């Protein structure tokens, strides 16, 4: 059987086999640009399906961990090659399924290829240190070892990159994985899993179980044989998962929301700052966890900044993401579309001044399009300055000094990414020191991360562990300290 049946029914992948769920029920994945277009149906899996996946993963991991890192790496290199050959199809599926524009979807899929290659190479790197023993006739060393079975729970906004930046390190360090993707982007995820299948991954090492978060996500969090759970998504879900996994003594990692500030100093390069606010705030329809949603501008440059920003925002084309001219696609889901409208209403009710956009874009297909939206006169106590909107909405805030800007930037629960545009080294240094964010960016937009560097937030944005780069080793392995005496 292959990833899908003739009726566009996408299957689970358990123990190296594509299979239908015990429930015989499916969940529908539709296009946000045209909700009547069905991308496919995925399995509405049950706890029994998950049980089979956990059993398969436990068995598969026993053999997988015995392979050398280089052997595991060779398989990941193969997956990368297959994914690379399928970039066009997978990117187009992503655009249709969750509305990201095609160039962004291609960029994300290419990033997935690079992630796989980066971690494939990791199989040849060191896995411990020699530590001098007080016994001169002994050899003492540390050795990183896999955890066992890792549950991977992912959101819809990066349906290729996020599963891969979790799965690739989990796998290279010798774990087996069970991926539960967001249903809204599960067809794209199924096509990624197909690449693992085609590369000849051993049975049980990679498993894919779709279904409701409250059933499969919750099941992974509760299952005693799932040693660790890595999650990216909203704070409400993440905190619940963290508590569930912690209660049974498992390991967990949570990457959650953001309310990322972009500070614009009087002395900055104005054009660069405007472009960064637009790209960082509105690309992907504002649906990146690292999106700039608060633009904090020093008063000396405020009016000029606002004027240029509004000019450029007015040039943005909204479309289905497949057409070349569409710069911004639809909101990814109906729920998200409604949430964005709700926040725009709240912003106005609380006294922020709507200076651009704010309305749905009418269209024949009933797509979830919103105008790019800019609020002026936003204060820190307003809901739109505090809560993650996850939509194309920028909030402008005026300050006198950079100290005030940093204080305002920190005045939220979140702490994912933050950036400053300035040429003044004192401003830059105090920003680096004082900003409460895991990703600190200078003269560059808040969104954008490199796969070889640690990624993660502070405060409510994260459970303080880091993903990607070498930092991933910390989460996906545990350590043995070996004392060896002849
Ligand atoms: P979500 O929390 O609704 O869903 C994420 C995943 O959790 C999905 O697979 C979902 O099915 C599953 N889930 C839902 N309920 C569950 C439950 N009770 N138990 C276990 N699993 C459950 O998030 P979303 O709407 O898909 O994604 C948007 C959110 O993701 C935003 O808040 C965004 O900031 C965040 N995000 C964070 C990062 C980061 O790295 N910090 C990256 C991307 C997205």
Q: How far apart are CA 212 and CA 50, in angstroms?
A: 12
Q: Whose CA is nearest to atom 32 of ligand 1?
A: 234
Contact present, 388 and 259 (Cβ < 8 Å) = yes
- The tens digit of pLDDT for each residue in 27-49 reads 999 999 999 999 999 999 999 99
Contact partners, residue 40, CB within 8 Å, separation at least 6: 4, 8, 9, 10, 29, 187, 190
Contact present, 86 and 112 (Cβ < 8 Å) = no
Contact present, 271 and 316 (Cβ < 8 Å) = no
Q: Is 214 in the pocket of ligand 1 (CB under 6 A)?
A: yes
- The tens digit of pLDDT for each residue in 215-249 reads 999 999 999 999 999 999 999 999 999 999 999 99
CA of 453 to the centre of ligand 1 (A): 22
- pLDDT at site 215: 98
Domains annotated on the chain, with CATH = 8-256+462-485 (3.40.605.10), 260-450 (3.40.309.10)
CA of 237 to the centre of ligand 1 (A): 6
Q: Is 182 in the pocket of ligand 1 (CB under 6 A)?
A: yes
**What are the backbone dihedrals phi and psi of residue 109, each rounded to the nearest 5 degrees, phi first?**
-70, -40
- pLDDT at site 7: 79
- The tens digit of pLDDT for each residue in 314-366 reads 999 999 999 988 999 999 999 999 999 999 999 999 999 999 999 999 999 99
- pLDDT at site 253: 98
Q: Is 217 in the pocket of ligand 1 (CB under 6 A)?
A: yes
Q: How far apart are CA 351 and CA 338, in angstroms?
A: 20
Instruction: Give the residue-averaged pLDDT of 473-483.
Output: 98
- Give the HSE-up count for residue 386: Cα atoms under 13 Å, Cβ half-sphere: 9
Mutate to test the pocket of ligand 1, among 50, 226, 234 (most ligand atoms within 8 A of CB): 234
- The tens digit of pLDDT for each residue in 375-393 reads 999 999 999 999 999 999 9
Q: Is 388 in the pocket of ligand 1 (CB under 6 A)?
A: yes
Q: Return the ligand 1 atom nearest residue 457 CA.
A: 41
Work out the pLDDT band at 114, boundaries 50, 70, 90.
very high
Is 108 a residue of the active site?
no
Work out the pLDDT band at 145, boundaries 50, 70, 90.
very high
CA of 102 to the centre of ligand 1 (A): 23
User: Is 1's pLDDT higher than 90?
Assistant: no
User: Is 110's pLDDT higher than 90?
Assistant: yes
User: Is 5's pLDDT higher than 90?
Assistant: no
Write down the catalytic residue from 97, 108, 184, 255.
255
Q: How far apart are CA 436 and CA 453, in angstroms?
A: 18
- pLDDT at site 259: 98
User: Is 463's pLDDT higher than 90?
Assistant: yes
């Amino acid at each position: 059987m292959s990833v899908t049946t003739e009726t566009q029914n996408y299957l689970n992948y358990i123990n190296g086999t594509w299979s239908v769920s015990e429930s015989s029920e499916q969940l529908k994945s539709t296009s946000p640009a045209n909700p009547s277009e069905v991308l496919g149906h995925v399995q509405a899996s049950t706890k029994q399906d998950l049980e089979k996946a956990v059993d398969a993963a436990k068995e598969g991991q026993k053999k997988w961990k015995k392979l050398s890192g280089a052997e595991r790496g060779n398989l990941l290199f193969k997956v990368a090659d297959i994914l690379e050959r399928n970039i066009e199809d997978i990117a187009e599926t992503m655009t249709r399924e969750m509305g990201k524009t095609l160039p962004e979807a291609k960029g994300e899929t290419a990033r997935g290829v690079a992630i796989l290659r980066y971690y494939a190479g990791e199989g040849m790197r060191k896995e411990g240190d020699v530590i001098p023993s007080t016994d001169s006739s002994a050899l003492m060393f540390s050795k990183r070892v896999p955890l066992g079975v890792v549950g991977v729970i992912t959101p819809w906004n990066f349906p290729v990159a996020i599963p891969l930046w979790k799965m690739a390190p989990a796998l290279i360090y010798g774990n087996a994985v069970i991926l539960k993707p967001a249903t809204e982007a599960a067809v794209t995820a199924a096509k990624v899993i197909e690449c693992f299948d085609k590369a000849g991954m051993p049975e049980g090492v990679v498993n894919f179980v779709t279904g409701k978060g409250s059933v499969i996500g919750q099941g992974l969090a509760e299952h005693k044989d799932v040693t660790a759970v890595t999650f990216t998504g909203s704070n409400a879900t993440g905190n619940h998962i963290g508590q569930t996994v912690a209660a049974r003594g498992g390991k967990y990692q949570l990457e959650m929301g953001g309310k990322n500030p972009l500070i614009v100093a009087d002395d900055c390069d104005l054009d660069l700052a405007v472009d960064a606010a637009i790209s960082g705030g509105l690309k992907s329809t504002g649906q990146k966890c690292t999106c700039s949603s608060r633009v904090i501008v020093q008063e000396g440059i405020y009016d000029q900044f606002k004027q240029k920003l509004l000019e450029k925002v007015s040039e943005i084309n909204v479309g289905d993401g497949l057409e070349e001219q569409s710069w911004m696609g639809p909101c990814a889901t109906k729920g998200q579309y409604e949430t964005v409208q709700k926040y725009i209403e709240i912003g106005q009710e609380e006294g922020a001044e709507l200076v651009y956009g704010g309305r749905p874009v009418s269209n024949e297909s009933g797509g979830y399009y919103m105008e790019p939206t800019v609020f002026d006169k936003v204060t820190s106590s307003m809901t739109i300055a505090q809560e993650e909107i996850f939509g194309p909405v920028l909030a402008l805030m005026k300050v006198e000094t950079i100290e005030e800007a940093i204080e305002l930037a920190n005045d939220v629960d979140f702490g994912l990414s933050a950036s400053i545009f300035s040429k003044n080294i004192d401003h830059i240094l105090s920003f680096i020191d004082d900003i409460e964010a895991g990703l600190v960016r200078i003269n560059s937009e808040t969104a954008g991360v490199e796969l070889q560097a640690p990624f993660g937030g502070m405060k409510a944005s994260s459970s303080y562990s880091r993903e990607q780069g070498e930092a991933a080793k910390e989460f996906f392995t545990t350590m043995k300290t070996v004392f060896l005496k002849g």
